[in-house]
């Protein structure tokens, strides 16, 4: 096997990964490894470059739909699926390292983590972080995906999971794809409704965080909860 210092020809992405580790590769090289092959007309590095030209921000690429990826020359359904799966796995690895079972959670900690999670996301999500009596995380559960004022956003699901997990309290989190963190009138009404139900159920709503692209807003700190 050739040593790195005696290898005169430029290393291919796979070879460079073996010799120098994944951290030494560019975004384009990493994408080329995931894509594996190009087309008859385009080498894989060119296809990878086209992906990055279409999605210059990796956070946006992570939320790209399969149908959107297929609009890029050289990306068929199989490659789009494999690429989306790899990006989702990377996202989950990052989240697992940040928000773990048994960790004592605060609004600031959850808010900062969710900014990273929702970066580039174009759809609204509602997530509930369930806590025990010591504010330790029991579970993070995504309940809704869509528009928060849709009929599916109902407190019953929040408390159904809370009772199942024997949670003492929880933190609501939802994102605004627009990047703005100002709560809407419905956000405020929904929060008050959930908080009132929590008082009856004995499961306290500690906070409701609205997450934008680079910041979050705490309804507790605003005095709206």
Which of 9, 79, 82, 84 lies closest to 38, judged by CA? 79
The pLDDT of residue 8 is: 54
Kindly state the tokens that stand for 224.
């709206």
pLDDT at 73: 93
Spatial distance between the Cα atoms of 199 and 220, rounded to a whole number of angstroms: 16
Residues 66 and 77 sit within 8 Å (Cβ to Cβ): yes
Find out whether 137 and 103 touch, Cβ atoms under 8 Å: yes
Cβ-based neighbours of 151, under 8 Å, separated by 6 or more:
none
pLDDT tens track, the chain, 225 positions: 445 445 456 778 898 898 888 888 899 999 999 999 999 899 999 999 999 999 988 878 888 889 999 999 999 999 999 999 998 888 777 666 556 666 667 888 888 888 888 877 778 889 999 999 998 989 989 888 776 555 456 788 899 999 999 999 999 999 998 888 899 888 899 999 999 999 999 999 999 999 988 889 999 999 988
- pLDDT, residue 105, reads 75
Neighbours of 177 (CB within 10 A): 16
Domain ranges, ordered by start, for the chain: 4-96, 100-222
pTM of the model: 0.62
Fold held by 100-222 = Cytidine Deaminase; domain 2 (3.40.140)
As a whole number of angstroms, the distance between CA 123 and CA 63 comes to: 9
Q: Is the fold of 4-96 the same as that of 100-222?
A: no
- Find where tokens 């580039």 sit: 120
Parallel, antiparallel, or unpaired: how do β-strands 169-175 and 216-218 relate? unpaired
The architecture CATH gives domain 4-96: Orthogonal Bundle (1.10)
E strand or H helix that includes residue 188: helix 185-201
């Amino acid at each position: 096997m050739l040593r790195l210092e005696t290898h005169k020809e430029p290393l291919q992405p796979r070879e460079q990964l073996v010799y120098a580790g994944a951290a030494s590769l560019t975004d384009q090289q990493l994408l080329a490894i995931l894509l594996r092959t190009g087309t008859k007309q385009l080498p894989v590095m060119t296809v990878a470059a086209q992906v990055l030209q279409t999605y210059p921000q990796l956070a946006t690429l992570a939320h790209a739909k399969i149908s959107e990826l297929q609009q890029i020359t050289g990306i068929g359904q199989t490659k789009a699926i494999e690429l989306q799966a790899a990006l989702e796995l990377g996202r989950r690895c990052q989240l697992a390292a940040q928000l773990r079972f048994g960790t004592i959670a605060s609004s600031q900690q959850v808010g900062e983590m969710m900014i990273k999670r929702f970066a580039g996301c174009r759809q609204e999500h509602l997530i509930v972080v369930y806590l025990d009596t010591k504010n330790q995380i029991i579970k993070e559960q995504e309940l809704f995906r869509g528009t928060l004022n849709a009929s599916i956003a109902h407190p019953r699901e929040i408390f159904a999971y809370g009772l199942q997990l024997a949670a003492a309290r929880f933190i609501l989190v939802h994102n605004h794809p627009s990047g703005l963190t100002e709560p809407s009138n419905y956000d405020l009404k929904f929060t008050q409704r959930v908080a009132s139900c929590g008082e009856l159920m004995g499961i306290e709503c500690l906070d409701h965080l609205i997450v934008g692209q680079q910041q979050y807003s705490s309804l507790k700190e605003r005095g709206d909860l």
